[in-house]
Structure 1
Amino acid sequence: MEDEPRPGRPVTACGDANISKVLVSLSDDRRKTCEEISTETSMSRTSVFRVLTNKLNNNKKFSKWVPHLLTDEQKESRINFSRNFLRRFQTEQNDFLGRIITGDETWVYSWDPETKR
């Protein structure tokens, strides 16, 4: 089974060339809006948004584009912390567990994020 040829131009908005354009623009300043990136790259705002969210897995947090997934360094750091905790537990047993302080996962920011103004 094969697709029959269809008229029209193939979709190239999310191609490798456009992804690299968006990456270059974003590397200068992660606080850029989709509109600013679209004027720099000569792409539509929707295409820029699609590249940022679908292809690069970025989210807009506190007016800054950040990767949705952990970086390799963050993953390695978590593995190292877990290994150190396991090693300490094996040597100290229950004494180690008594020294752990836990809390809820509520994040309270005491600073205001930078704005473009």
Structure 2
Amino acid sequence: MVNSVQEHILNDRRLTISDLCNLYPDLSIGTMFDIVRGCLGYRKICARWVPKELSSTHMESHFEAPLGFLTRYNEKGNDLISRIVTCDETWIHYNNPESKRESMQWKHTTSPRV
């Protein structure tokens, strides 16, 4: 049973304990946790770092937007100001990167750090 669980983990390191329990319905979550952590020595770590700072593309767009407003203000004057609607800053991304939790993988304690 332990070797079979290890094969599943090696095939897909992003499996969760719940996913493994679905593959082995006769085992409880506690038993599966003991197999993965205790017997096999795996720990769940983040596979990739999700930055909280702005990327260079975002920084450029933060610079370009005010510059565009200043250029339009020089062209149209006060008529432009009466047409501006202000609100809280919100960024909407069409391609959302995966979160830290979604990128977590099982690694063995002796696995090299990447």
Q: Same fold (TM over 0.5)?
A: no
- TM-score (structure 2 length as normaliser): 0.44
Higher radius of gyration, 1 or 2: 2
